[in-house]
Amino acid sequence: MLWNGIFYVTSAIMLISALSALFARHAMYGGLYLITSMVAMAVLYYLLGGPFISALQVSLYVGAVLVLLLFMITMLYRPAPRTYVPRLNRRFWWPMLLLLVLLAEVATLFATGAQTTVPKIVSIGPKAVAEALFGHYLLIVEATALLLLAALTAVLYLSRKVEES
Amino acid sequence: MAYEPTLMTGALLFVIGLAIVLLRREVLFVLMGIEVMFNSAGLTAAAAGQYWQDSVGQILVLFLMTITGAELAVALVLVYLAFRRLRVTQLAEIHSLRDAPTLPQELRP
């Protein structure tokens, strides 16, 4: 089936590029792998019937948030590029053990569960999202606006201190 | 559409993000790992919204994007301050909250 094929290929691209960010040499390469992963995620959102959040993922997430991250990487520092070689000491094995336990939990969870299928993908457009957003969830929108204002104030204050010192 | 593969993809992406957070030492990579984990949560929410054929999942993803933007802006300024004042980029080297020699004049004791 076409849907399944596109879904699995996009998921593979997303997971492989996220895994490449783990082994990236420089922070800029990591950021570019992250952007690839997020664009693949936008395709997945579209496949899951959300064209509005798919567009927002590209324009808002990749276009604003991750570009901010890339700006900060270019501004910040230029250390010697070095390959990430995990040192096999205690600080590597304990997190690795925790990750493997988590992975085993995920595997058992999905190996034993029953298969459920959604018969038909329904595209939920911007109109339905906006009606719920500005109707039922209006209070949370206001709270988020307040949070963004607080973040703006904090960033302005901290960057002013940078200029003074 | 089978429901389990979408959840499985989200869970695998979460594990990868957690691996980036736990195994890399640079502050910027830790932030990237947090982004990956946020996105895996978003994928799960979108899949659940399609499972219930409701717009709630998309609304959760939208709020997730907004909160991530706010979080990343503040975190990046803190990383920048740590680099400017302490000249460190590794997470383990940021261990002092107080950096007395570089405080501005009016804040010095």
Number of domains in chain A: 2
Q: How far is B77 from chain A (nearest CA, A)?
A: 7
**Can you give the pTM of this predicted structure?**
0.87
Please check whether residue A98 lies inside any domain of the structure: no
Parent domain of A11: 1-80
In this structure, the answer to whether residues A70 and A144 fall within a common structural domain is no
Q: Does A139 touch chain B (CB under 8 A)?
A: no
Q: Is residue A101 situated within a structural domain?
A: no
Is residue A107 assigned to a domain? no
A14 and chain B in contact, CB less than 8 A: yes
Domain B3-91 in CATH 1.10.260.40? The answer is no
Q: Inspect the interface and report whether the beta carbons of B11 and A110 lie closer than 8 Å.
A: yes
CA distance B91 to A118: 44
| Chain B residues in contact with A30 (beta carbon < 8 A) | 28-29, 32
For the ranges A122-126, B1-5, B22-26, B42-46, the one whose mean pLDDT is highest: B42-46
**Predicted confidence band at A48 (pLDDT cuts at 50, 70, 90)?**
very high
pLDDT band at A161 (very low <50, low <70, confident <90, very high): low
Q: Are residues A60 and A1 in the same domain?
A: yes
Chain A residues inside the 8 Å CB shell of B80: 72, 75-76, 162
What is the value of ipTM here, to two decimals?
Answer: 0.87
The residues with which A117 forms a beta bridge, in sequence order, are B2
Residue A82: per-residue pLDDT? 59
Per domain, the residue ranges of chain B are 3-91
